């Protein structure tokens, strides 16, 4: 989710914000053991982070904060959609982000799921589940260095009979095709570990 955003102009619409700086080095991190669920699944609570990579490195903290604000403004303006790849026999019971008032659940979206299946085909034993944010919701960024964006998240997948299992997540803007541009990150379902951190440097 860098600056690859484009859509036709809309009459009388507010002008789009400046493009976001490019993004790299996504990670997911959990600081407490993952919990089993009654349906044989696993609940993960942690943070999802990524790093902004401006083409010109900011000279000072003020400039870095400006790049951060540029990105957050772009995401607030355009929105986002996310794909989660799981086994064909599994389901995503919950996918939520932290907000100022607690958390909000993302909504499974059939059109996004179809776009994922067409643009990023899977093996027969896997499938994509597409999510969008409900109208009026906003993620609360966690404290982090200016060029690092972190959000608290909760993911519940079931059943998970044989952990560990790597869950691939891709994110992009609603107006962009996943196969054209997305940020990829991984969540590792593994309740045996007390804490986990998985970092990827993969952006299409």
Averaged over 73-77, what is the pLDDT?
94
CATH number (domain holding residue 102): 2.60.40
What would the DSSP string read from start to end of 148-196?
EEEEEEEEEEE--SS--EEEEEEEE-TTS-TTTS-EEEEEEE-TTSS-E
The pLDDT assigned to 31 comes to 92
Contacts of 65 (CB under 8 A, 6+ apart): 146
pTM of the model: 0.90
Quick one: which H or E segment has residue 113? helix 110-119
Averaged over 118-132, what is the pLDDT?
97
The pLDDT assigned to 2 comes to 57
Give dist(CA 112, CA 107) in Å, integer: 10
* Assigned domain for 58 exists: no
* Assigned domain for 5 exists: no
The least confident of 1-10, 41-50, 62-71 is 1-10
* Assigned domain for 60 exists: no
Averaged over 52-73, what is the pLDDT?
95
* Assigned domain for 18 exists: no
Averaged over 49-73, what is the pLDDT?
95
Alpha-carbon torsion 14, 180, 92, 74, what sign? negative
- Residue 15: pLDDT band with limits 50, 70, 90: confident
The pLDDT assigned to 17 comes to 84
- Residue 132: pLDDT band with limits 50, 70, 90: very high
Give dist(CA 94, CA 96) in Å, integer: 6
How many domains is the chain partitioned into structurally? 1
* Assigned domain for 183 exists: yes
User: Percentage of the chain with pLDDT > 70?
Assistant: 92
* Assigned domain for 6 exists: no
Short-list 87, 45, 33, CA closest to 187: 45
Residue 121: is its pLDDT beyond 80? yes
Averaged over 38-43, what is the pLDDT?
96
Pairing, β 148-158 against β 42-52: antiparallel
Would you say 171 and 107 are in contact if contact means Cβ atoms under 8 Å apart? Answer: no
The pLDDT assigned to 173 comes to 94
Contacts of 140 (CB under 8 A, 6+ apart): 97, 98, 99, 100, 151, 152
- Residue 1: pLDDT band with limits 50, 70, 90: low
More confident residue, 16 or 117: 117
Averaged over 109-118, what is the pLDDT?
98
Show the tokens assigned to 97: 């982000």
Domain with 120 in it:
28-51+79-200
Would you say 94 and 154 are in contact if contact means Cβ atoms under 8 Å apart? Answer: yes
- Residue 201: pLDDT band with limits 50, 70, 90: confident
């Amino acid at each position: 989710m860098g600056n690859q955003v484009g859509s036709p102009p809309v009459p009388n619409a507010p002008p789009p914000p400046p493009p976001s700086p490019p993004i790299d080095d996504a990670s997911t991190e959990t600081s407490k053991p993952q919990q089993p669920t009654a349906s044989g699944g696993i609940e993960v609570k942690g943070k999802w982070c990524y790093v902004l990579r401006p083409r010109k490195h900011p000279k000072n903290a003020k400039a870095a904060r400006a790049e951060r604000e540029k990105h957050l403004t772009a995401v607030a303006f355009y929105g986002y959609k996310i794909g989660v790849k799981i086994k064909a026999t599994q389901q995503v019971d919950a996918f939520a982000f932290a907000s100022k008032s607690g958390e909000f659940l993302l909504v499974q979206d059939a059109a996004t799921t179809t776009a994922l299946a067409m643009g990023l085909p899977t093996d027969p034993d896997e499938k994509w589940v597409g999510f969008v944010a409900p109208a009026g919701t906003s993620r609360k960024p966690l404290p982090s260095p200016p060029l690092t964006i972190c959000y608290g998240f909760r993911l519940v997948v079931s059943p998970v009979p044989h952990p560990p299992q790597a869950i691939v997540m891709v994110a992009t803007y609603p107006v962009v095709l996943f196969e054209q541009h997305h940020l990829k990150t991984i969540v590792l379902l593994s309740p045996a570990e007390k804490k986990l951190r998985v970092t990827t440097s993969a952006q299409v």
